[in-house]
């Protein structure tokens, strides 16, 4: 048996101290870090490798997929772990209030996602990984710069944020283990609905998606959802133990079927997006060939930019980078 070691900030014997809110929140943060640290470090490692080393996150759509994976795994776990593990009664009986717990959990879950998606989108738009690694090669082999439309960047950032927020809120307010773990379904559906609404507005205003509404509307809606969740969580009754064993097979089957449907839907969307992307690339390639054939034989290839990029994004490559060229 090991003796309880000397504890940081804890008195050696009986004494009275005043514990500030900041100190209590710090304690909660420490506890949550012990709980989710490995998972978050894992996501960070994958993000670094995919974005900065392998550059597989070269477009907002793969970044969106990364965000979706984060929502799927971290959303229910961070939002509803206490209820799923049956530790909610223990947690609620400790001095920190429900509001304290909610805010700390939110910071632990949403904070990394904001960094992953925000920095990731900016890095893709600015080709920061290539700038960091200095991997520009002026080979003369022109590969048209793949300019993603603004709506793709808006979606890559705001859709996972909205989906995580909704998933977090749903998971926080549920008490049933199985339902907690499936909280990403309503969370994703809510985010998809919001995205559809915002994209529809963009079509109505500009006759094409621009990301100018999707970008701000989804995070704003996420903030409202989180506020509502905050209020609801403060009225939550703590469950004494993990519920879940009593769920009927019919309900479990329904949940699995729903999950499969949502997964199929996401795959379908990705497939459609990939088709659009391939078409766009092909068009750009053809345009590049036309430009090349029209230019003088020894003239340096002129900057080529897809129309959508020119229309929606000015945050292109660094000045030193050969315009329109990518290794």
Partner 1 sequence: MSEAAIEARDLTKTFKGGVVAVNGLDLTAPRGVVYGLIGRNGAGKTTTLRMLMGLLRANRGTARVLGADLWTADRAARARVAYVGQEQTIYGWLTCEELCHLGGRFYERWDTARARRLAERFDVPTDRPVGALSGGQRRKVAILLALASRAEVLILDEPAGGLDPIARRQLVDEIIDLAAAGDGTTVLFSTHIITDLERVAEMVAIMDRGRIMAETRLDEMQSTTRRVQVIFAGDGPPAGFAVPGAVRTQTAGPVVTAIVRITSDAQLDEVRAIPGARVNVFDLGLEEAFIELLGPEAAGEFGETMS
Which chain residues interact with partner 1 by CB under 8 A? Answer: 1-19, 21, 23-24, 26-28, 30-31, 34-35, 85-87, 89-97, 100, 235, 237-238, 240-242
CB 320 to partner 1: min, Å: 48
Distance CA 147, CA 156 (A): 14
Comparison of 12 and 298: residue with beta carbon closer to partner 1: 12
CB 23 to partner 1: min, Å: 6
Longest dimension (CA), the chain: 87
DSSP 176: B
Residue 13 has a CB neighbour count (10 Å cut-off) of: 4
For residue 46, give Cα distances in angstroms to 24, 51, 164: 32, 8, 18
Cβ-contact 79, 183 below 8 angstroms: yes
CB 271 to partner 1: min, Å: 39
Distance CA 87, CA 73 (A): 19
Cβ-contact 35, 29 below 8 angstroms: no
DSSP 243: B
Comparison of 225 and 239: residue with beta carbon closer to partner 1: 239
Comparison of 1 and 294: residue with beta carbon closer to partner 1: 1
CB 243 to partner 1: min, Å: 11
Quote the tokens at residue 164: 């995580």
Comparison of 97 and 139: residue with beta carbon closer to partner 1: 97
Comparison of 23 and 137: residue with beta carbon closer to partner 1: 23
Helices (H), 48-149: 60-85, 88-93, 98-126, 128-133
CB 8 to partner 1: min, Å: 7
Comparison of 24 and 258: residue with beta carbon closer to partner 1: 24
CB 303 to partner 1: min, Å: 54
Is the torsion defined by CA of 235, 237, 243, 249 positive or negative?
A: negative
């Amino acid at each position: 048996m090991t003796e309880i070691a000397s504890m940081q900030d804890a008195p050696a014997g009986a004494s009275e101290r005043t514990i500030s809110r900041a100190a209590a929140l710090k304690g909660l943060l420490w506890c949550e870090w012990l709980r989710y640290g490995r998972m978050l470090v894992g996501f960070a490692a994958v993000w670094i490798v995919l974005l900065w080393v392998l550059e597989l996150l070269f477009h907002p759509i793969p970044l969106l997929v990364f965000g979706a994976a984060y929502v799927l795994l971290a959303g229910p776990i961070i939002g509803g772990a206490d209820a799923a593990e049956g530790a909610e009664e223990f947690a609620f009986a400790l001095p920190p209030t429900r509001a304290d717990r909610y805010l700390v959990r939110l910071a632990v879950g949403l904070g990394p996602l904001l960094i992953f998606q925000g920095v990731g989108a900016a890095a893709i738009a600015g080709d920061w990984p290539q700038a960091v690694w200095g991997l520009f090669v002026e080979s003369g082999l022109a590969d048209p710069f793949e300019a993603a439309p603004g709506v793709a960047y808006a979606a890559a950032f705001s859709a996972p944020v909205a989906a995580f927020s909704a998933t977090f809120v749903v998971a926080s307010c549920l008490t049933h283990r199985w339902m907690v773990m499936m909280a990403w379904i309503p969370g994703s559906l809510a985010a998809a609905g919001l995205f559809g609404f915002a994209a529809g507005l963009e079509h109505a205003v500009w006759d094409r998606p621009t990301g100018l509404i999707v970008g701000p509307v989804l995070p704003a809606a996420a903030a409202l959802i989180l506020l509502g969740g905050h209020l609801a969580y403060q009225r939550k009754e703590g469950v004494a133990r993990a519920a879940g064993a009593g769920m009927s097979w019919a309900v479990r089957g329904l949940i699995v079927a729903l999950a499969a449907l949502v997964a199929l839907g996401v795959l379908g969307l990705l497939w459609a997006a990939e088709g659009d992307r391939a078409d766009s690339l092909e068009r750009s390639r053809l345009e590049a060939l036309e430009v090349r054939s029209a230019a003088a034989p020894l003239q340096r290839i002129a900057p080529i930019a897809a129309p959508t990029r020119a229309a929606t994004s000015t945050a292109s490559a660094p000045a030193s980078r050969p315009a329109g060229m990518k290794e």
